[in-house]
Chains A and B, each alone.
Chain A
């Protein structure tokens, strides 16, 4: 890698994704984008870590389950410590079509944005898997809530398919929401003055295994995230000051 080339890290948080991780990695290896890949095994009970290692990925195994926020933040901390310029977050379950990595990478590479979100719900975009009706209702609620509170219209605030520049890697290495982090991370990023862009991507149904947010947890998700977003709006500027 020449010095002028940016260092790019793909962060894959994985919890009990043995059935999917190999395929996801295979798709990433097939890309013509030069990146490093780190799988954050979030205390899986199955052989996710072994499967990822066998597929050739570097794996950070957390000693116990921290939740998606903790796993992704571990990735940011690793990226920050190893001086990566760009981090891309990709789900392990195969929902994110990694073919779109180039799409979400481009505005960050060109310094147009600090965060780029791969979105399922932008107007007039190609339709792929768009989640269940109940989930879409929840997402709609967060679109409005974030819109009212921050003044920015994000069509898919729950999408975890994102690209971040160095500034955001450093910030999120220090401050990142614990559980169900995606909508809250947008509000936090806004507090740090981040430029956020959304680009249309097509997503797929999860390739195997089960989602971690089901039944009553969905209700808890709605309440927790709403409360967290409202509290984030009250946080002082002290949070904004960061230094490395």
Chain B
């Protein structure tokens, strides 16, 4: 019973922490949604732990704890993959911006030179 409340408190705590981060605009909903879903699932299975045990048995896991560790591993692998995708997107955007800034800076200095010459 203690484990149930511990799991419930921890998952609720993380859920609320993520919500708070979104509220403070430290996280956008787009990037928070994965964490919120994972926390919601954890809360759900903390309450309905018998369902979790049934699924573990159905999947032929020796112990329900093995199943929990397996699911956690899957969730983290998926989340890190998702973060890598976001990182690449960000990198790509930075590169595009750097190219644009380089060209614009050059055009600006050319323009300044031309205006200077006219004056």
Contact = CB atoms under 8 A, between A and B. Distances in A.
Interface size classification for chain B:
under 10
Interface size classification for chain A:
10 to 19
B109 to A, nearest CB: 9
Interface stretch (B34-42, B69-77, B78-86, B96-104): B96-104
A240 B22 CA distance: 40
Interface string B11-33: 00000000000000000000000
Interface string A33-49: 00000001000000000
B103 A70 contact: no
A64 B95 CA distance: 9
Main secondary structure on B side of the interface with A: helix
Contacts of A64: 98
B99 A74 contact: yes
Interface in A117-151: none
Interface in A64-79: 64, 66, 70, 73-74, 77-78
A61 B102 contact: yes
A73 B95 CA distance: 10
A178 interface: yes
A63 B102 contact: yes
B102 A40 contact: yes
